[in-house]
Amino acid sequence: MPTEDTHKGSKGPFRVYSPASLGDAIRHYRTAAGLTQAQLAEMAGLQRSYLSELESGKETEQLKRILRVLRQLGVRMTLDEADW
């Protein structure tokens, strides 16, 4: 992947309201970090194919359940850079 990005991407924050939006955010931060799916998958200890599906917004029951709870409570989930 030759896309050389020397700029610390400071996009976001990302609002998470669905599996798809979570996937979008993860992909954004992964590419901003200059990582491939294979690299991140290994770092996080999971299968690359699973990460691919996660970024694609694959709908899973557990995630949808949690998001339903939060929606009913009027709570919003946000992802942003920790920026240590």
Partner DNA sequence: GTCTTCTGTCGGCATAATCCGACATTGTAG
Partner DNA sequence: CTACAATGTCGGATTATGCCGACAGAAGAC
Q: How far is the CB of 64 from DNA (least distance, A)?
A: 7
Is the Cβ of residue 56 or residue 78 nearer to DNA in the bound state? 56
- Give bridge partners of residue 15 from the DSSP assignment: 78
Q: Counting contacts by CB under 8 A, is residue 69 touching a copy of itself? A: yes
Choose the contact partner of 56 out of DNA, a copy of itself, none; CB within 5 to 8 A by kind: DNA
> Which letter, b or e, does each residue of 62-76 get, where b requires 16 or more Cβ atoms within 10 Å of its Cβ?
ebeeebeeeeeeeee
Q: Is the peptide bond before 13 cis (omega within 30 degrees of 0)?
A: yes
Is the Cβ of residue 14 or residue 22 nearer to DNA in the bound state? 22
Residues touching a copy of itself: how many (CB under 8 A)?
39
Q: Counting contacts by CB under 7 A, is residue 10 touching DNA? A: no
Kind and range of the H or E run holding 29: helix 19-32
